[in-house]
Amino acid sequence: MKEFKVFVQDKPGELARVTEALASQAVNIKAISSEGGLESTFLRVVTGDIATTEKAFKLAGLKFEANEILTIELMDRPGELAKIARRLARAAVNVASIYILGSKNGKTEVAMVVSDMQRAKAAIR
């Protein structure tokens, strides 16, 4: 799974432009967030279809970058994410972005972009 960081202008219609690009290629969005600042504005998008997402963004003329994400399943109760965050901190792994993809049957699926995938995987075992 990948996170797509899509660079957009800070103006009305940019969310529509990005989501319509995905809809035109029948790509379902699993998670989305936005971040704006003085120098850049972007959307972070997670989908279930990497190749078609890339195609959709290219066809729409959108500038983007893709990052691998780590997905983990946690028990849906207080403190579970804190335990994982502490393990990652001890392993000197930075979390650049994080999403809750959904909750079902007492479990929560979390996705994150990390600075070192191998160390992150070792830390959460």
Give pLDDT tens digits along the chain (125 positions).
999 999 999 899 999 999 999 999 999 999 999 988 767 899 999 999 999 999 999 999 999 999 999 999 999 999 999 999 999 999 999 999 999 999 999 999 999 999 999 999 999 98
Residues 44 and 16 in one domain: yes
CB contact at 8 A, 99 and 112: yes
Residue at which a domain ends, from 53, 68, 83: 68
Q: For residue 40, what pLDDT is reported?
A: 80
Residues 88 and 30 in one domain: no
Per the structure, how many domains does the chain have?
2
Q: For residue 39, what pLDDT is reported?
A: 73
Instruction: Read off the tokens for 108.
Output: 């929560």
Read off the CATH number of the domain in which 82 is found. 3.30.70.260
Residues 96 and 111 in one domain: yes
Residues 76 and 112 in one domain: yes
Q: Centre a 10 Å sphere on the Cβ of residue 27 and count the other Cβ atoms it contains.
A: 22
| Domain span including residue 117 | 70-124
Residues 58 and 75 in one domain: no
